[in-house]
């Protein structure tokens, strides 16, 4: 009886003093909006088990990079990897966090989701404005049996600087020399044709409104909003649908071994099953920590996410990193950090 009372008192005290009772550490991160949904879900789970909170501000990759360089946050998140020079100059290291897919979405009457087939070079020509009608021989040759209308192609791209655009244009640069030399790739580029929608929301809304339009969004958006998307031919020459398996295959078969500091954009990955426009977000941290206790929590958090975060990632249409890759990342933590 007495012990029970004591236990209740202890419980009340613990709940009153809350976090201080378990000596929680709050760490801060900022950057990419691409990872925001999954990071916030992970951090909620992590806080439940450890009491440590992760405050993540989704302010955009550029701002995240700027803040980690200034040292005002514990980790930054960027949809584009930092160059080796930048990493060395600021004493930073980086590693991938989670995988997501980018899909071409189309508004074509009578064409169902995943039915339309596109290759990288044709997709690049469409976004260059060179393939201007849907019944163009270049598209028709890939799609025997699909009734393609004689309608003008309207390209819809992102108007805001974004990691989605970065990875999409990076892919087009890899599959089209003309794109690589003229338009290049980046979070925002000088689009040769088309109109710009703000955010995934804006792009998917414009695509719905314009008959004969083609855009690109994160897979989760296309799936949630039931927009028709295209299947793609990958680097191995196989036709693939955007699914968790093909995103995961891209992450597993990308050439990480030769990439120093994981400085590799995984579009156009080599695997048979790899979805060609697959993206990740890099977590950027100081190799020699400015605040060791915070860094320790940050590593613990990402280890937790890699080990136990698959289900949460999948529920939001992300794919957790394959084990082969998380092992590489943890080896990298041990070898390169806290020197």
Partner 1 sequence: MHATASNAATPLERSAGTGRAAKDARNDLIFGGVLKACALIVLLSLIGAAGSTLWLGQDAFRTFGWGFLTSAAWDPSNDQYGALVPIMGTVGTAFIALLFAVPISFGIALFLTEIAPQWLRGPVASAIELLAGIPSIIYGMWGLFIFAPFVATHIKPWLMNNFSADPPDGQVSWLVQHVPFIAKFFSSEYPFFGAGVLTAGLVLAVMIIPFISSVMREVFQTVPTRLKESAYALGSSTWEVVWDIVVPYTRTAVIGGVFLGLGRALGETMAVAFVLGNTFKFSLSFLETGSSIASTIANQFGEAQGLQRSALMAIAFLLFVVTFIVLLIARLMLRRLATKEGN
Which residues make up the interface to partner 1 (CB under 8 A)?
Answer: 59-63, 65-66, 154, 159-163, 169, 183-191, 194-198, 202, 205-206, 209-211
Q: How far apart are CB 53 and partner 1 at their closest, in Å?
A: 24
Q: Which of 113/210 has CB closer to partner 1?
A: 210
What DSSP state is assigned to residue 133?
A: B
Q: How far is the CB of 165 from partner 1 (least distance, A)?
A: 9
User: Backbone phi, then psi, for 67, in 5-degree steps?
Assistant: -70, -35
266/130 Cα distance (integer angstroms) = 26
The rounded distance, in Å, linking the Cα atoms of 271 and 236 is: 6
The stretches of the chain forming alpha helices (DSSP H) are 2-17, 19-22, 36-50, 61-70, 84-90, 120-128, 137-142, 163-175, 177-182, 199-209, 219-224, 244-253, 292-308, 310-315, 323-336
Q: How far is CA 3 from the centre of its chain?
A: 51
Name which of 32 and 234 has its Cβ closer to partner 1. 32
Bridge pairing between strands 213-218 and 154-158? parallel
Contact call for residues 127 and 230 (beta carbons, < 8 A): no
Min dist. Cβ of residue 16 to partner 1 (A): 38
Specify the residue, 91 or 186, whose C-beta has the smaller distance to partner 1: 186
* DSSP annotation string for 135-186: T-HHHHHH-TT----S-B-EEEEESS--HHHHHHHHHHHHH-HHHHHHT--S
> Closest separation between CB of residue 188 and partner 1, Å?
5
- Four-residue CA torsion sign, 255, 256, 258, 263: positive
In whole angstroms, how close is the CB of 142 to partner 1 at the nearest point? 25
Question: Between 60 and 242, whose beta carbon lies closer to partner 1?
Answer: 60
Question: CA 211, CA 191: separation in Å to the nearest integer?
Answer: 20
Kindly state the smallest distance separating residue 33's Cβ from partner 1, in Å: 8
What is the smallest separation between the CB atom of 182 and partner 1, expressed in angstroms? 9
| Between 81 and 309, CB nearer to partner 1 | 81
Q: By C-beta, is 47 or 63 nearer to partner 1? A: 63
- How many C-alpha atoms does 128 have within 13 Å on its Cβ side? 20
- Complex with partner 1: residue 206 or 229, whichever CB lies closer: 206
131 vs 210, which CB is nearer to partner 1? 210
* CA gap 271, 226 in Å, rounded: 27
Please report how close the Cβ of residue 65 comes to partner 1 at its closest, in angstroms. 8
Residue 168 or 299 having the CB closest to partner 1: 168
Instruction: Please count the other Cβ atoms lying within 10 Å of the Cβ belonging to residue 209.
Output: 12
CB of 143 to partner 1, least distance (A): 23
């Amino acid at each position: 009886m007495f012990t029970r009372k004591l236990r209740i008192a202890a419980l009340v005290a613990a709940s009153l003093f809350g976090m201080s009772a378990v000596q929680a550490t709050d760490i801060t991160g900022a950057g990419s909006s691409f990872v925001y949904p999954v990071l916030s879900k992970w951090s909620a789970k992590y806080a439940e088990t450890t009491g440590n909170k992760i405050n993540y501000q989704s302010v955009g990759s550029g701002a995240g990079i700027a803040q980690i360089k200034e040292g005002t946050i514990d980790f930054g998140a960027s949809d584009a990897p930092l160059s080796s020079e930048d990493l060395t100059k600021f004493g930073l290291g980086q590693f991938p966090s989670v995988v997501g897919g980018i899909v071409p979405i189309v508004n074509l009457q009578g064409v169902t989701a995943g039915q339309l087939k596109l290759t990288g070079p044709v997709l690049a020509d469409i976004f260059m404005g060179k393939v201007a009608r849907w019944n163009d021989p270049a598209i028709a040759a890939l799609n025997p049996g699909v009734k393609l209308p004689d309608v003008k192609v309207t390209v819809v791209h992102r108007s805001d600087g974004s990691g989605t655009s970065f990875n999409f244009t990076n892919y087009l640069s890899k599959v089209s020399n003309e794109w690589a030399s003229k338009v290049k790739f980046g979070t925002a580029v000088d689009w040769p044709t088309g109109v710009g929608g703000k955010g995934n929301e804006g792009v998917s809304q414009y695509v719905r409104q314009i008959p004969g339009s083609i855009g690109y969004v994160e897979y989760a958006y296309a799936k949630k909003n039931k927009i028709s998307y295209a299947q793609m031919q990958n680097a191995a020459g196989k036709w693939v649908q955007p699914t968790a398996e093909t995103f995961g295959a891209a992450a597993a078969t990308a050439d990480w071994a030769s990439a120093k500091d994981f400085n590799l954009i995984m579009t156009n990955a080599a695997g048979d099953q790899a979805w060609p426009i697959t993206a990740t977000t890099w977590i950027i941290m100081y190799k020699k920590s400015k605040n060791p206790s915070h860094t320790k929590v940050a590593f613990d958090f990402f280890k937790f996410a890699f080990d136990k975060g698959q289900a949460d990632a999948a529920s939001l249409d992300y794919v957790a990193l394959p084990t082969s890759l998380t092992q590489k990342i943890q080896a990298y933590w041990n070898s390169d950090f806290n020197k």
